Amino acid sequence: MASIFTRIINGELPGHFVWRDDVAVAIMTIAPVRPGHCLVIPVEEVDHWDDVPADINAHLLDVAGKVAKAQKKVYSPQRVGVMVAGLEVPHTHYHLVPIDQIADLDFALQQPASPEVLAAEAAKLRAALVELGYRDSAA
């Protein structure tokens, strides 16, 4: 059975895309711990992050770096935290969270966000990616 992320990538479920290419996507999470919290996900469904092929993992980190630069531009955090928890969905994904302190990475802070809020946040990040010179990959 396809993961929820595969279903979003394939257009079977709605998603708010920040980045999309043949190898990876970045989408807004539906329950962010902070504004701008998004996920970088390989298109190929791999359960455990340590089983992701090296070339795909390198691409995921490259995309994560680009999205983090956009998050810094939009939200002005002290840092962009990166976390791989791996328990929620059996499909590797990196959490990218604009943070000002380590406590900002607490998943107990998750709050559901409306589709309108997620769409607006995704649009801000896509615009920042374009301003930073990255192609508009989520279009």
Please report, rounded to a whole number, the percentage of residues in the chain having pLDDT higher than 90.
Answer: 93
Residue 52: per-residue pLDDT: 97
CA 112, 85, 96, 24 torsion-angle sign: negative
Q: Is residue 56 within 8 Å of 91, Cβ to Cβ?
A: no
The torsion region of residue 63 among left (phi > 0), alpha (psi -120 to 50) and beta comes to: alpha
Q: Residue holding tokens 């302190």?
A: 101
Does CATH place domain 4-126 in 3.40.50.1820? Answer: no
Ranges 1-5, 78-82, 117-121: which has the least confidence = 1-5
> Distance between CA 91 and CA 56 in Å, rounded?
14
Residue 136: per-residue pLDDT: 59
Mean pLDDT of 115-128: 98
How much is the pTM?
0.95
Residue 137: per-residue pLDDT: 64
The domain segmentation of the chain, as residue ranges, is 4-126
Q: Is residue 114 within 8 Å of 30, Cβ to Cβ?
A: no
